[in-house]
Structures are given as structure tokens and as C-alpha cells.
Chain A
Amino acid sequence: MATITANLAVSSDITSYGLNINKTMTMSKAGATTGLNRTSGVQRVYLSNLNHVDLIVAGLAGSPVADMQLSKAAKVYIKYLEDDTTKFVRVGMGNASTNTTQTPNNGDGTFFEMGRLYGNEWMIIPWNGASNVGDITVQPSRASTAEKAIIEYVVFFED
């Protein structure tokens, strides 16, 4: 059994009394106290065009998450490696449209945009990984062969 921990520390003077978060979670299997025992490892993806593409597909044969059990307790960390804070990557869920136009944010399971990671931003979320509607997708605001958009991700999951 592995022990994986994530510590989040947020510090802000956004209110007159401040706003601080300091929380540590130990990643466990669904409904258990045993730790998650699989990882994709740290993956780095280079995007050279503006296409909307799948970043991670749970259970995809041959992928780093091929043996992931769906609808369990997986966690995903994603970071956009970019110093320019005007550039962003749309991070979505659903089937990627695999072209330059995303399918609508329509709430019916085909695709929606969860959020945007601007330069140097990162996120950590639980991941359901449901077949077809649960792929994690990305689409950079700017990317070219000369200046690729670089995204890092890690998935922790149970087999």
C-alpha cells in the first residue's frame, strides 16, 4: 500500500482578515483507508496547434492510465507550463471535438469547459473518468510548431 499526500497552501490578503487554506489529503481508494496504488507518472504533452484534444482517457489501452478503474477515487494534477500569463489552456471534460472548434458547453455530456489554466497555473481534481463523457480535454489559446504549448499532468488511481 502506497501513501500519497497532497498539501494545498493558499494565502491571500483578499479580505481584511485574510484568507488562508492549509490542507493535506492522503489519497485513498474509494471508501477505504488503503492508499491509491497506481500512477501515470509525470507526463509532459506538447501541443503544436490549436486543436481541441483529449489529454487523458481513463482506461485507454496502451495509455499511462490503461488499468484505471472508472468512477473510483482517482486524482489528477495538471499544470500549464508557460510564463506568459495572457496565454491559457481550456481544460474540459467530455469527448474532444478534435478540431479547432469546441463542441458547445451544453451540459448534456458531450463536452464542457471546466476552467482555464493561464500561464504557470495548475489544478488538482478528483476524476471520475467515465467512458466517453469523462475524458479530460485541452485546447491551448496559442500554440504553434515553433512555440508549443506544454502541459504536465499526473494521475493517481486505483487498479
Chain B
Amino acid sequence: MATTTAAITLTSADLLTDALSLSATSTLHKAGSTEGLDQTTGMAHAYLTATTAIDIFPALIEASIAFENKSNWVYICNLSTDETEFLTVKICEQVIGKLYAGDFLWMPWSMRESQNANDHHGDITIAPSVNTGMHVEFTCINEGTEYHTENTSAGQ
């Protein structure tokens, strides 16, 4: 069983009158258990040269519930050093927020089947703000990814 720990420290010496310092640590478990997460997509490093929104992790297959309600943790980081460049992060086609240069997110992710047959199934997409090239890192640590079977149709 793998052990994955995540720690965050938030600090600011000058946002408030008094210094702000907040820390938290958690150990990542399978849903509702104390067993550690044991699978990952690995850390990806991509260089994106189009502003098109792309899926970065396999989402649920249509009509599949086997992977619903499992524990998934997602890390996405915009490695750009240009403060004007950002990634728009969406889930189910809805904007979560923008990651500007150097920003990251760390969040749980629910892959749940869509109810309006649009096949989004909680998919996470990212879209660069520029097409001149942006470096991005992302990984998912979870208890299972529903990999799609090969499509053997000609031309697929």
C-alpha cells in the first residue's frame, strides 16, 4: 500500500495587520477508508501550442458507474513565466478558475456520469490563453482510472 501525503503552507507577512500563516497536511486515502491511494497517471509535462481546451485525464466511459465516487486527487501547474499567460481550467465545461504564471491547483476530483448525455462525465479540461507555447504539468493520484479500450475501426 502506498503512502501519499500532501502539505500546504499559506503565508503572508503584509496582507493583514498580523502575519498570516496556515498549514495543513493530509494523507490520501481511498474513498471512505484508511487505505492509501495506489495508482497514478504519473506526472505529465506538456507544451501546448493551441488555445483549444483539451481533456487531460480519461473521464468516465458512457453508462459506466464502476469508477464513480472513487478518490482522485489532481495537480495542475502553469509553468509559464509570463504573468499575462493563463490556463483556463474547466470541469464539465464550467470554468473553475484561471491559473496564471506559476499558479497551481490541488483538488479532489469526482468523476460522475453526466445527466444530460453530453459525455463530459466530470472531465477536466485546460485551455492556454495563447498559442505561442505554454509549459504545463499535471498529474492525478487515484484509486483507479477507467482507460478506454482500443478503437479498431478503420481510420480511428
Contact = CB atoms under 8 A, between A and B. Distances in A.
Interface of A: 2-15, 19, 21, 23, 25-28, 30-33, 35-37, 39, 41-42, 71-75, 77, 79, 85-86, 88, 90-91, 93-94, 104-109, 112-118, 120-130, 133-134, 154, 156
Interface of B: 2-16, 20, 22, 24, 26, 28-29, 31-34, 37-40, 42-43, 69, 71-72, 75, 77, 83-84, 86, 89, 91-110, 112-116, 118, 120, 122, 139, 141
Given A6-B10, A8-B104, A88-B32, A14 B39 contact: yes
B33 A112 contact: no
Helix, strand, loop or mixed for chain A's interface? strand
A114 B100 contact: no
Nearest to B95: A128
A106 B120 CA distance: 8
Nearest to A73: B100
29 contacts: A2-B15, A4-B10, A7-B8, A8-B7, A9-B6, A9-B7, A11-B5, A12-B4, A26-B102, A27-B103, A30-B86, A31-B84, A35-B15, A36-B15, A37-B15, A77-B8, A86-B33, A90-B110, A105-B110, A113-B122, A114-B96, A116-B71, A121-B108, A122-B8, A123-B107, A126-B99, A128-B95, A134-B94, A154-B10
The list of the 8 closest CB pairs from A to B, nearest first, reads A126-B97, A115-B108, A107-B92, A104-B115, A12-B4, A2-B15, A14-B2, A4-B12
B86 A31 contact: yes
Nearest to B101: A28
Contacts of B69: 116
Contact of A124 (B11, B106, B114): B106
B100 A31 contact: yes
Contact of A39 (B15, B31, B77): B15
B43 to A, nearest CB: 7
B100 A3 contact: no
B97 A74 contact: yes
Given A73-B100, A123-B106, A134 B24 contact: no
Contact of A21 (B33, B75, B112): B75
B15 A126 contact: no
A38 to B, nearest CB: 8
A154 B22 contact: yes
A105 B120 CA distance: 10
Could you say which of A36, A117, A126, A130 has the most chain B C-beta atoms within 10 Å of its C-beta? A126
B139 A19 contact: yes
Given A14-B37, A105-B92, A114-B109, A33 B72 contact: no
